[in-house]
Every structure is written in C-alpha cells, then in structure tokens.
Amino acid sequence: MDNLRVQADKIIKDYAFGSTLTGFIPVPFLDMMSLVGVQRIMLYRLSKLYGVPYSKTLAKIFLASLMSSFTATAASPALGSILKIIPGIGTFAGGVGMAAMGSASTYALGKVFQQHFESGGTLNNFDPDVVKETLQERFEQGKELSKKHQKKITI
C-alpha cells in the first residue's frame, strides 16, 4: 500500500502543478474547461493505479459536485477567468488567481479520491457529501503547497 500511496502522491502533485498552467490560458472559460479536463485525467490515472473501474460520466458528475462545494473559494477561478476579459493586467491577474486556485483544487480532489480508493471505495460508491469537510481541509493544504511551490520558482 505504501508504494501505491507514493505513486498516487506523485500523480496528484504532478497534476496539481500541471493545472496551474491552465490558469494562464488567455481565453475566459476555456481555462476552466481545461482545468476540469486535467482533473478528469488525474482521476482516471488514480483509478487505474488503484484498480478501480473508471467512468467518464461519474467522474464529470463528482468533479462538478465537488468543485461547487468550495463555496466562496469556488468563485475565485470563475472570477479569475472573467478578469481575463480586461486586456493586460486583467489577463495577468486572472491568470495568477486561476493558477493558484486550480492547483489547490486539483490537489484537494486528488487527495480525497486517493483516500476513498485506499479505503476500498470505487466511483460507484463515492458520496461527495461525505467528503466535503475533508475536501476543504485538503484545499487549504493545496493552497499552502502552491504558495511554497511559487516561492521555489521565483527564487
């Protein structure tokens, strides 16, 4: 199980980092669609790793449900996307905000599904309502990891 956990952690971190790049897509709302695409691929990879049957339909439903559970913070990526309408500074500010929130949300989603799969769960018995508190905690951890990663890049 430790080897699986290490591999899952790597997948989650790789996709969380990769999802930051979607924030810099200059087209409003295309960035958000790309973020969801990255998250779906991560969920697919985690499902394969844990030997859990993957369902594209269930993945879409669960990711949409979980993303909406971020309450006020869920508005941040949408706001970041909308800011991109303003040339120059809006594109930059929106990209930075979208990148940070995208990374944190991808990390949180990955960790929630990792925990579910490690406990023997599948997509068929996943209940988004049960994990909302854990999701928010993982989102906060993801924001901290994103900040640390940004500091490493700027140094």
Mean pLDDT of 90-112: 73
Tell me the residue length of the chain: 155
Q: What DSSP string describes the chain?
A: -HHHHHHHHHHHHHHHHHHHHHTT-SSTTHHHHHHHHHHHHHHHHHHHHHTPPP-HHHHHHHHHHHHHTTHHHHHHHHHHHHHTTSTTHHHHHHHHHHHHHHHHHHHHHHHHHHHHHHTT--STT--GGGGHHHHHHHHHHHHHHHHHHHHHHH-
Residue 150's pLDDT is 56
d(CA 118, CA 120): 5
The count of structural domains within the chain is 1
User: Residue 141: which domain range?
Assistant: 2-154
Structure tokens at 21: 């790049």
pLDDT tens per residue across span 77-90: 555 455 445 555 54
The predicted pLDDT at position 68 comes to: 74
- Grade residue 98 by pLDDT with cuts at 50, 70 and 90: low
Whether 9 shows a pLDDT value over 90: the answer reads yes
Q: What is the chain's mean pLDDT, rounded?
A: 79
CA distance 90 to 17: 22
Residues ≥6 apart with Cβ < 8 Å to 26: 84, 91, 95
Percent of the chain's residues with pLDDT above 90:
41
C-alpha to C-alpha distance for 106 and 142, rounded to whole angstroms: 8
pTM of the model: 0.78
**Predicted confidence band of residue 25 (pLDDT cuts 50, 70, 90):** low
30-68 per-position pLDDT tens digit? 677 888 889 999 999 999 999 999 999 999 889 888 877
